[in-house]
């Protein structure tokens, strides 16, 4: 019998998809695992039990979470619900406001921030701006208003466009004058009832539609007199309206506001005048004036998102584009298609920048791509970050990057949460998956270094955040008031009525305690409680590559002789080496609640041959639900190999 030692010093490729379990020739195989659940992979390569999720508030329904960071000291979380919004500061709701966005609008909601203003768009709703005004405290005054285009007495500098057939003409009944009303007759169907109140330009003269009599006849109140009353094809209407739809996406780039697409012009870009964000007057095409163009290609793909990075990046449902010009001017702007991946058109998944790469969810729903410029090729590529862990990517619906911990959290359409440890300079791209007992993840945001989550459980919605101080989910921490005696009954759990919880108190874990009447009851009087849903962290080794070169892959019989786990600050180690899970004693003389750092060696028995392709076919598995810290740094396995 030959002996081999397998050293695993890093988990830097994360949980590998089952279809890769036969690729032991890959470097990723040696640095991966068969199962990594409810753990975060450290940038250094270790695996840590994830934090618990502290319960912040009960929500009335589904929400979108938006980070608002006025500066590094003043950060807020905006929660957009059903026509209502709430501002949270450090986990406390401080102010509410009304919005025109309901739950049905959440999927295509898009936003961008500039200083104290958040711009919010949706192709079916008039765009809004949420402004935080200083008020002498950290709360501020929050005001939501419509966009206000730059305007003079005779012009409103918003985008205009001639919809319909270019050959359509209109005939005014007269030249009118300032404040005068004339009739305009179209050569074919042109007007709708919703056009009342919209701005039009005829031969460069602006007016407002006062009434619509039919599809070919309307009246318009002019700002100035028309040059003449002859039939003309020189007319256009405002781009954004209830008739034509509203902006799809928005960002800021090179001191311009950039609007990407609308409902009726899905592949068009508008850039404001430089330094004048709500002025889209094209003027004479001077360097600082507004810019407008369409993405012309073999397909008319809707713009799904725009991002201001090294260049202006435009993401559509069928391809990705680069807009260049230094600076961008009407004369030197260049638009080049880079890749043909495509993004989801039915859901706005926020674009995230990580070390210069823009992360976007691909149209297929099974890929997460990084749009990255390479100096060698002077072009963008779009590598698939989910290539090794495709099974964990199930239709992303939201994402946010925790820069402090190098973790990209991606909410999937099936309610799971995928966590990607992304550290390009160290070649770490490692996925793990998170779950909450009986609950589904619905939204995620990172604000002020805190990761906020929306969860749905039994039809109820909750706002929570990862909390290093608790090891339970949807957890509530309660303490005695000063001078109060320990007690058995604890109230304040109304948001979790009827839910069965685990209770951590005084170094003991109580299980299966059900909330009744907003109260939990314990067998003993205690001074503090942390109550929430328990969760189990799982780590499973990949099936061993047992061939010695004389037989096909997996043809040799294997025996795990011993295994050594190197752990740090760990309170519980529960291991299965082939005979079922058992708790391992960590260090002599250590109190039950104290964390242990060091090596733990175990002996093992039993031969095995081949693998059935299950995540428990590895040499060892770790699982535990103890709400205390756990960090695995590496594993050394001694194997016996025989025919």
- DSSP 8-state class, residue 153: S
Nearest to 576 by CA among 549, 610, 602, 614: 602
Q: Bridge partners of 360?
A: 369
Task: Report pLDDT for 346.
Answer: 92
pLDDT tens digits, 534-577? 999 999 999 886 554 444 445 567 778 889 999 999 988 999 98
Nearest to 13 by CA among 423, 388, 359: 388
Task: Report pLDDT for 548.
Answer: 45
Based on the number of CB atoms within 10 Å of its own CB, is 459 exposed (0-12), middle (13-18) or buried (19 or more)? Answer: exposed
Nearest to 642 by CA among 555, 577, 563, 578: 555
Which pTM does this prediction carry? 0.93
Q: Say how far apart CA 271 and CA 260 lie, in whole Å.
A: 9
How many angstroms from the chain centroid is the CA of residue 482? 42
Rounded to the nearest 10°, the torsion over CA 391, 392, 398, 403 is -130
- Evaluate whether 110 touches 116 at the Cβ level (below 8 Å): no
DSSP strand pairing (487-490 vs 64-69) = unpaired
Task: Report pLDDT for 278.
Answer: 96
Q: How many residues does the chain have?
A: 643
How many angstroms from the chain centroid is the CA of residue 131? 23
Q: Say how far apart CA 547 and CA 558 lie, in whole Å.
A: 9
How many angstroms from the chain centroid is the CA of residue 378? 28
Task: Report pLDDT for 561.
Answer: 86
| DSSP state string for 463-521 | EEEEETT--SEEEEEEEPPTTPPPEEEE---GGGTT-EEEEEETTEEEEEEE-BTTBEE
Contacts of 25 (CB under 8 A, 6+ apart): none
Q: Say how far apart CA 631 and CA 586 lie, in whole Å.
A: 13
395-415 exposure pattern, b = at least 16 Cβ within 10 A, e = fewer: ebbbbbbbeebbbbbbbbeeb
Q: Say how far apart CA 196 and CA 292 lie, in whole Å.
A: 26
- Evaluate whether 460 touches 421 at the Cβ level (below 8 Å): no
Q: Say how far apart CA 266 and CA 611 lie, in whole Å.
A: 51
- DSSP 8-state class, residue 387: G
- DSSP 8-state class, residue 63: -
Nearest to 430 by CA among 445, 416, 443, 419: 419
549: left (phi over 0), alpha (psi -120 to 50) or beta: left
- What is the separation, in whole angstroms, between the first and last Cα of the chain? 8
| DSSP state string for 501-514 | EEEEETTEEEEEEE
Q: How many other β-carbons are positioned within 10 Å of the β-carbon of residue 438?
A: 13
Contacts of 104 (CB under 8 A, 6+ apart): none
In three-state form (DSSP H/G/I as H, E/B as E, the rest C), the secondary structure along 319-372 is CEEEEECCCCCCCCCEEEEEECCCECCCCCCCCEEECCEEEEEECCCCCEEEEE
Give per-10-residue mean pLDDT for the chain (643 aa): 81 93 87 95 94 96 94 89 95 94 97 93 97 76 94 94 92 90 95 95 95 96 94 96 97 95 95 95 93 88 94 95 92 94 94 95 94 90 94 96 96 97 89 96 96 96 95 93 87 92 89 92 90 96 65 62 91 89 78 79 74 68 93 90 67
Evaluate the CA torsion angle 599, 559, 39, 16 in order and state its sign.
positive
Q: Say how far apart CA 52 and CA 467 lie, in whole Å.
A: 6
Task: Report pLDDT for 550.
Answer: 45
Q: Bridge partners of 253?
A: 256
**Three-state SS at 424:** helix
Q: Say how far apart CA 161 and CA 144 lie, in whole Å.
A: 28
pLDDT tens digits, 176-189? 888 899 999 999 99
Q: Say how far apart CA 372 and CA 173 lie, in whole Å.
A: 56
Q: Say how far apart CA 464 and CA 327 lie, in whole Å.
A: 43
């Amino acid at each position: 019998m030959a002996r081999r030692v397998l050293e695993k010093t890093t988990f830097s490729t994360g949980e590998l998809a089952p279809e890769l379990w036969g690729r032991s020739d890959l470097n990723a195989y040696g640095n991966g695992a068969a199962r990594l659940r409810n753990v975060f992979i450290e940038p250094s390569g270790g695996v840590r039990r994830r934090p618990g999720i502290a319960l912040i508030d009960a929500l009335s329904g589904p929400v979108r979470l938006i980070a608002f960071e006025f500066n590094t000291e003043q950060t807020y979380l905006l929660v957009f619900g059903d026509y209502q919004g709430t501002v949270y500061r450090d986990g406390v709701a401080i102010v509410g406001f009304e919005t025109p966005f309901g739950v049905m609008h959440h999927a295509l909601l898009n936003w961008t921030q500039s200083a104290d203003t958040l711009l919010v768009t949706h192709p079916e709703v008039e765009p809004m701006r949420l402004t935080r005004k200083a008020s002498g405290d950290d709360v501020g005054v929050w005001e939501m208003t419509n966009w206000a285009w730059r305007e003079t007495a005779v012009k409103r500098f918003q985008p205009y466009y001639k919809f319909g057939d270019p050959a359509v003409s209109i005939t005014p009944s007269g030249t009118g004058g300032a404040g005068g009303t004339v009739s305009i007759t179209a050569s074919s169907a042109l007007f709708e009832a919703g056009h009342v109140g919209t701005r039009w330009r005829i031969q460069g003269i602006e007016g407002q539609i006062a009434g619509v009599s039919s599809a070919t006849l309307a009246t318009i109140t002019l700002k100035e007199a028309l040059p003449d009353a002859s039939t003309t094809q020189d007319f256009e209407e405002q781009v954004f309206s209830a008739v034509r739809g509203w902006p799809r996406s928005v960002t800021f780039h090179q001191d311009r506001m950039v609007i990407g697409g609308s409902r009726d012009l899905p592949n068009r870009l508008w850039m404001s005048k430089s330094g004048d964000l709500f002025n889209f007057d094209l003027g004479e095409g001077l360097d600082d004036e507004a810019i407008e163009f369409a993405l012309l290609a073999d397909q008319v793909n809707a713009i799904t998102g725009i991002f201001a990075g090294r260049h202006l990046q435009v993401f559509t449902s069928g391809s990705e584009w680069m807009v260049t010009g230094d600076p961008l001017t009407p004369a030197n702007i260049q638009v080049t298609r880079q890749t043909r991946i495509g993004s989801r058109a039915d859901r706005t998944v926020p674009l995230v920048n990580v070390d210069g790469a823009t992360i976007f969810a691909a149209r297929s729903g099974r890929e997460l791509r990084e749009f990255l410029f390479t100096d060698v090729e002077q072009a963008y590529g779009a590598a698939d970050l989910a290539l090794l862990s495709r099974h964990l990517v199930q239709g992303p619906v939201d994402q946010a990057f925790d820069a402090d911990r190098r973790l990209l959290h991606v909410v999937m359409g099936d309610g799971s949460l995928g966590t990607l440890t992304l550290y390009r300079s160290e070649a770490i791209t490692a996925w793990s998956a998170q779950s909450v007992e009986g609950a589904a993840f619905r939204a995620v945001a990172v604000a002020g270094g805190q990761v906020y989550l929306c969860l749905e459980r039994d039809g109820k919605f909750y706002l929570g955040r990862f909390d290093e101080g608790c090891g339970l989910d949807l957890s509530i921490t309660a303490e005695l008031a000063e001078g109060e005696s320990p007690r058995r009954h604890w109230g304040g759990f109304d948001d979790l009525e009827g839910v069965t919880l685990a209770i951590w108190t005084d170094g003991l874990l109580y299980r299966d305690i059900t909330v009744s009447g907003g109260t939990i009851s314990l067998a003993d009087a205690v001074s503090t409680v942390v109550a929430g849903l328990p969760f189990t962290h799982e780590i499973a080794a990949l099936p061993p590559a047992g061939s010695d070169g004389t037989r096909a892959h997996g043809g040799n019989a294997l025996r795990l002789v011993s295994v050594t786990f190197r752990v740090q600050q760990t309170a519980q180690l529960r291991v299965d080496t082939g005979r079922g899970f058992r708790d391992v004693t960590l260090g002599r003389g250590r109190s039950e609640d104290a964390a242990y750092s060091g090596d733990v060696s175990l002996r093992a028995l039993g031969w095995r041959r081949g693998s059935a392709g299950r995540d428990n076919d590895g040499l060892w598995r770790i699982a535990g639900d103890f709400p205390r810290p756990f960090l695995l740094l590496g594993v050394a396995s001694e194997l016996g190999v025989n025919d």
